[in-house]
Amino acid sequence: MRKALRLLRVRLAVLTMVLALPAAVEAQFDYTTNQGTVTITKYTGPGGAVTIPSTIIGLPVITIGEGAFWSCTSLASVVISDGVADIASSAFDGCESLTSVTIPSSVTNIGDDAFSGCSSLTKVAIPASVTSIGSYVFSDCSSLAEITVDPVNPLYGSVNGVLFNKSRSTLIQYPPAEAGSYMIPGSVTTIENGAFISCMGLTSVTIPSSVTNMGGETFFGCPNLATITVDELNRFYSDVDGVLFDKSQSTLIEYPGGRVGSYTIPDNVITIGSDAFYFCEGLTNVTIANSVAVIGEGAFQRCNNLSTVMIGSSVTNIESNAFTSCVSLIGIYFAGNAPSLGTDPFFFSGPIIYYVAGTKGWGSTFGGVSTAVWNPELPFNYTINNGRIIITGYTGPGGVVTIPAVLSGLPVTTIASYAFFGCTNVTNVIIPKGVIDIGDSAFSLCSNLASVMIPNSVQQIGEYAFSGCASLTSVTIPASVRGIGGSAFGSCAALTGAYFEGNAPTNGSHVFVSDCNVTVYYLPGTFGWGPLFVNRPAVIWNAQVQPGSFGLRSNQFGFSITGSSNLDVVIEASTNLGDPNWSPLQTITLSGTAFNFTDPYWTNYQSRFYRVTWP
pLDDT in tens, 297-334: 999 999 999 988 999 999 999 999 999 999 999 889 99
Structure confidence at residue 207 (pLDDT) = 98
Structure confidence at residue 375 (pLDDT) = 81
Vertex 18, ends 17 and 21: CA angle to 5°? 80
Structure confidence at residue 449 (pLDDT) = 96
Structure confidence at residue 127 (pLDDT) = 98
**pLDDT level of residue 215 (50, 70, 90 thresholds):** very high
**pLDDT level of residue 353 (50, 70, 90 thresholds):** very high
**pLDDT level of residue 177 (50, 70, 90 thresholds):** very high
Is residue 174 pLDDT above 60, yes or no?
yes
Q: Which of 94, 114, 109 is nearest to 156 (CA)?
A: 109
Structure confidence at residue 2 (pLDDT) = 34
Task: Report how far residue 581's alpha carbon sits from residue 244's, in angstroms, rounded to the nearest whole number.
Answer: 62
**pLDDT level of residue 10 (50, 70, 90 thresholds):** very low
Q: Per 3-state DSSP, what percentage of the chain is helix, strand, and coil (rounded to 5)?
A: 5, 35, 60
List, in sequence order, every beta strand (DSSP E) within 141-192. Answer: 146-149, 156-159, 162-165, 170-173, 180-183, 190-191
pLDDT for 237-286, tens place per residue? Answer: 999 999 999 999 999 999 999 999 989 999 999 999 999 999 999 998 89
Average pLDDT over the chain reads 91
**pLDDT level of residue 19 (50, 70, 90 thresholds):** very low
HSE on the CB side for 72, CA within 13 Å?
Answer: 25
Structure confidence at residue 24 (pLDDT) = 64
Which amino acid appears at position 531 of this protein?
Answer: P
Vertex 162, ends 156 and 163: CA angle to 5°? 25
Within 158-317, residue ranges assigned H as helices are none
Q: What is the pTM for the complete model shown? A: 0.66
Burial bucket for residue 449 (CB in 10 Å: 0-12, 13-18, 19+): buried
Structure confidence at residue 264 (pLDDT) = 94
